[in-house]
Chain A
Amino acid sequence: MERLILIAVIGSVTAILMRTVRQEYAVLIGIATAVLLLLGTLLRLTGIAETLHRICAEYRIAPAMIGSILKILGIAYLTEFGVNVSKDAGQQAIAGGISIGGRVLILSCALPAVVTMLETGISLIREASP
Chain B
Amino acid sequence: MDINLLFKIAGIGILVTVIVQMLRQNGREELATVAAIAGLILATMLVVSMIASLLETVQRTFSLY
Contacts and interface: CB of A to CB of B under 8 A. Distances in A.
A31 B57 contact: no
B14 A21 contact: yes
B57 A39 contact: yes
Interface of A is mostly: helix
A80 to B, nearest CB: 12
B51 A35 contact: yes
Given A14-B6, A43-B57, A70 B17 contact: no
**Taking chain B's interface residues, is the majority helix, strand, or loop, or is none over half, making it mixed?**
helix
Given A35-B51, A36-B50, A39-B53, A28 B43 contact: yes
A107 interface: no
A10 interface: yes
Interface residues of B, number: 32
B58 to A, nearest CB: 5
A22 B14 CA distance: 8
A42 interface: yes
B19 to A, nearest CB: 12
B10 A36 contact: no
A36 B62 contact: no
Interface residues of A, number: 33
A38 B62 contact: no
B47 A42 contact: no
A11 interface: yes
A11 B44 CA distance: 16
Given A7-B6, A32-B47, A35-B51, A24 B14 contact: no
A35 B54 contact: yes
In the A-B complex, the 6 residue pairs with the closest CB atoms: A74-B62, A25-B13, A70-B62, A35-B50, A14-B10, A35-B54
8 contacts: A18-B10, A18-B13, A21-B17, A25-B13, A31-B47, A32-B47, A49-B63, A77-B58
